[in-house]
A and B are shown apart, each in its own frame.
Chain A
Amino acid sequence: MKPAPFSYYTPRSVREAVALLAEYAPQDGRVLAGGQSLVPTMAFRMARPAHLIDINGIAELATLKVEGDTLHIGACVRHAAFDSDAVSGATGALLRKVVHNIAHYPIRTRGTFCGSVANADPASEWCCVMAALDGVAVLQSQRGTRRVTAADFYQGVMTTALADDELLVGCELPILPPDTRVGFVEFSRRKGDFAIAMALATYRLEAGKIIEPRVALGGAEAHARRMPAAEAVLKGATLDKAAFVKAAEAAAVACDPMEDFNNTADYRRGLVRTMVERALESAVKSES
């Protein structure tokens, strides 16, 4: 399972990278960051990019920093970076919770947050995070820079708003208020496998009532997204199991689950119900 031949480039700046993309994207040029998703597809020769633009040498893309109330995640930030105290507060707690579900330890040392976002696998945990928090994808090309929110970025199974000549240079997530509760659960056949369904929930409490609820699904539909139906149930509701069950039911009814050889839409729908309820329960215990 050896890859087909390709030309290889190692730009040292974003400018260089987008210039290469402009030239080679039309000739099947692809960006190589962590490679944990791309290289296996190349090994199977399902992907045969004629040109690989390796962005790992671009120093400015390795930044992970908070600026005001925004967390900036550069294109080369590895999954493993979030398994640390690098990001504090509720956002950090959420990212730490999520990261342990991503594949396995050695994949996490190499794979990147932004790579996962750009790849837009339905079962990508970071895509679920981006959807839940209305994250922003920063896309750069020779034509300029665009900022696209998650809801507009994700369009279908492994389909995004990213143009061929654009480089996803970074993602932005909001710094959640410190008292935000965060919960995340997923279900897969074995730990570390692609999730068949996942749910992410965040909310705050005001006088015992839920405010600012966010509920996002992943793994179950063509792409991750927030579930307004579930959020509507939670908004202003008392924090109790009944609210969680009702919200979970709303999500299960409203979702449009994928079918595949091993998982019926019905099964996924049932999982959505379970995952949403458990994500909400998990958030109860979290207090940053």
Chain B
Amino acid sequence: MTAKPTNWIGVSVERLEDRPLLTGQGRFAGDIGFPHQLHMRIVRSPYAHGKLSGIDTSEARKLRGVVAVWTVEDIDDLPPIDFREGPNEKLAPFRQPVLAKGVVRYVGEPVAAIFATDPYVAEDAADLVELDIEETDPVIDAALPTSGFAQGLTTEPTICTQGYGDVAITFKDAAHVIEMDLSIGRHSGVPLETRGAIGRYDAARDVLELHGAAKVPHKNRESLARMLSRGTAGIHLYEGHTGGGFGIRGEIYPEDILVLVAAMRLRRPVKWLEDRREHMIAANHSRQQRHRIRAAVDKDGRLVGIDDDFFHDQGAYIRTHGTRVADTACGILPGPYRLPHFRVSAHFRLTNKTPAATYRSPGRYETNFVRERLMDQIARQLGLSRIEVRRRNLIAPEEMPYARPLVALGDEVVFDSGRYEELLDKALARFEWDELEVAVKKRRAAGEFVGLGLAMYVEKSGLGPTDGARVNVHTNGEVEVITGGASMGQGFETVIAQVAAQTLGVDYRNVRVIHGRTDRIEYGIGAHATRATVMTANATLVAAEKVRAKALDMAAQLLQADAANLTIVDGVVSRTDGSGASIDLGQLAHHLRPVSPTRGEREPSLASDGWFTTDHMTYPYGAQFALVKIDPGTGGVTIEKMLIAFDVGRAINPMLVRGQLVGGFAQGLGGALFEEFQYDERGQPLSVTLADYLMPTAHEMPVVDVMMLEDAPSETNPLGIKGAGEGGIAAVGAVIASAVDDALGNQGLITQIPITPQAIKAILDKRKA
């Protein structure tokens, strides 16, 4: 029998989550059901903009199996959906009502709700609801002059501005001015599992339950309690399995409110499952921005000032994130480069499209594209290599910590650490950039359209300020870690278990991790903004260390030894020199139980809370390179080589980190070449099926080389983690655009993503003509 490893951190262990998922025993929202439940179906606006004068539900009500049909009149007492970070008077008028009132603002907006005994019947009934809507002209382009939203309000709720220095002067005296008009197409997370929510009122306990919760159960519980005028003690959220989140799932949507209110009023559990067509028009969109950006550079290609005006296409309402995405974009735009002067104005515009919010690497995917296009253009205009331009502008390690008077994700931007040029050089060597440049030149001479692209970027993670966890050892030796975290499939349980196991000296498979349960722990940060590993893992570390100390203290007494001379291996405490008796953690838990005669003055239970607080976000960084080939006959793009180099600080489970980076890359690739929510001139969404909204399949994926750097562990947390959830996706739009543009002669012609074969062919045909 070989000795079991006690070092779990840094090991690519198999996941604890996998078995139930592999054997079909998962509990996704669709798998959850309660006796006597009703099924909810939402009737949605078929028009992008219009006056809603009446809703005739009489035919729908007659259908056998229909128990109730609600319109806004039935829920008149409910407030609109509030912002996650709290009230905001200026933006409040633009919040989404739970059901449309008097006006519809996007195709897909909930207008009525059917409650029936069967989902097929519910859909039949929805077809019978007649909407009296007088269609009016929709706003489709966020960059056009504003229109009216409501009495005294325009479609520009606010302009987010940030900046420092004096940009006006820099442009007057600039050696070179580079101007670009750059657009990112509307796209979003589109997880494989659509949304779902089950509301249940447990009258026996007077507790309102929401099943199928995700992302930020504790935060949502607070918001829902407020909205429903109910104390948080009387409402609980339950997260089962979640089929991907990416930022989209877990925000409060109208449907979540409706199932809860219906469960209370109809006195039956209410189950709602979104279908795919609904998802495409009702779940959060993201990304769509148009930047009119100017850069002033000196004669050596160094940035002196950037002036950016951009239009953020928010869609019809402002949802739970407020202006967060636009604010983040403003604050993070300069990336890893020195920038003496800066001014950015985000015109936060409402249009008659599905409302938008955060999607993996929000504000960064967009601005990485914008900024890196600019850098390529600077290189071109000055006749410098694109690499040299980066070098001249990268912030140096000596300048760290590098503070910018900018705010992103609610935090002041302070780069904690970063060896940007070092990473660039390592990545260039790994990618064999110099050799590829030679090869590309030869291939071009032979008539091929090939190109190299690059992008450098800084990510954000570890959003604090605080998280807590509880570690509890049961009398059979099993360790339970209770967190306020959430799992979207990223391997949260395994990573937490690895940290707890290493600290306690147990097998990670003996650790059970609880998450997504507001009834098991009072506070939680969920999982978003790549914070779960940084915050929750560190809180787990603190709690586990305390439990370890407790265990050793109890064992010291029982083994008549000094705690300093004890060790824990595979759950068994013994002397480090191997002598004497031993005792396992389960037995120690037994000795620490409340009625134990051996417990003495010690606090009962082999358990402890632990809190981790940080006032600094951490800023991992990376570089991405791509070699692409264009088919001139079709405009099709093939990625021949791809590298992601990313500083992860420390990888608790390298296999899982790689999975995040590659998975993120696939989504980024979608945004670069395939995915877009398109609308016609009447505001009708055109990408409502998975046959129109194109996501990469295995066929479209190149082989991705991943260089995970752990050279600079984070100094802001004991585990040194920086998180990698968004590191793969962040710069893909930028790097693919750079490579395609290079293949087309580096003329700065690629100014929008997704890049379509048609657009590429048009450029090539024009050149031939």
- Residues of chain A having any CB pair with chain B under 8 Å: 1-2, 4-5, 40, 44-45, 187, 189-194, 261-264, 267, 270-271, 273-274, 277-278
Contacts and interface: CB of A to CB of B under 8 A. Distances in A.
Given A2-B123, A187-B634, A189-B674, 4 more contacts: A1-B123, A189-B757, A192-B697, A267-B761
Contact of B691 (A1, A4, A193, A278): A193
Contact of B277 (A1, A5, A191, A193): A1
Between A194, A263, A270, A271, the greatest number of chain B beta carbons within 10 A of the residue's beta carbon is seen for A270
Interface in B21-47: none
Contacts of A1: 123, 275-277
Given A187-B636, A190-B694, A193-B691, A270 B277 contact: no
Number of contact residues on B: which range applies? 20 to 34
Q: 8 smallest A-B Cβ distances: which pairs?
A: A274-B633, A1-B275, A2-B120, A191-B699, A267-B758, A187-B634, A2-B123, A189-B694
Interface string B614-633: 00000000000000000001
Contacts, number: 56
A189 B699 CA distance: 11
Contacts of A273: 633
B686 A261 contact: yes
Main secondary structure on chain A at its contact with chain B? loop
11 contacts: A189-B674, A189-B757, A190-B697, A191-B700, A193-B691, A267-B635, A267-B758, A270-B765, A271-B633, A274-B633, A274-B634
Contact of B699 (A2, A40, A190, A270): A190
Nearest to A264: B758
Interface in B677-728: 678, 680, 686, 689, 691, 694, 696-697, 699-700
Contacts of B277: 1, 44
B127 interface: yes
A261 B634 contact: no
Interface of B: 119-120, 123-124, 127, 275-277, 633-636, 674, 678, 680, 686, 689, 691, 694, 696-697, 699-700, 756-758, 761-762, 765
Nearest to B636: A187
A277 B124 CA distance: 50
Given A189-B757, A190-B674, A278 B633 contact: yes
Nearest to B632: A274
A16 B757 CA distance: 49
B758 A263 contact: yes
A271 B634 CA distance: 6
Given A1-B276, A190-B674, A262 B756 contact: yes
Contact of A267 (B276, B697, B700, B762): B762
A2 B686 CA distance: 20
A274 B756 CA distance: 17
B683 to A, nearest CB: 14
A187 B636 CA distance: 9
Nearest to A273: B633
A1 B761 CA distance: 37
Contact of B696 (A190, A192, A271): A190
B670 to A, nearest CB: 10
Nearest to B697: A190
Contacts of A277: 633
A189 B761 CA distance: 13
B271 to A, nearest CB: 14
Nearest to A267: B758
Contacts of A267: 635, 758, 761-762
Contacts of B696: 190
Nearest to A3: B120
A101 B37 CA distance: 45
A190 B636 contact: no
Contact of A4 (B124, B636, B756): B124
Nearest to B120: A2
Nearest to B276: A1
Contacts of A192: 697, 699
A190 B756 CA distance: 12
A2 B756 CA distance: 33
A175 B700 CA distance: 36
A282 to B, nearest CB: 13
A271 to B, nearest CB: 6
B124 to A, nearest CB: 7
B700 A194 contact: no
Contacts of B757: 187, 189
Contacts of B678: 261-262
B644 to A, nearest CB: 22
A45 B757 CA distance: 32
A48 to B, nearest CB: 9
A271 B760 CA distance: 13
A270 B761 contact: yes
A261 B680 contact: yes
Contacts of B634: 187, 271, 274
A105 B694 CA distance: 18
A191 B697 contact: yes
A194 B691 contact: yes
Contacts of A264: 758
B754 to A, nearest CB: 10
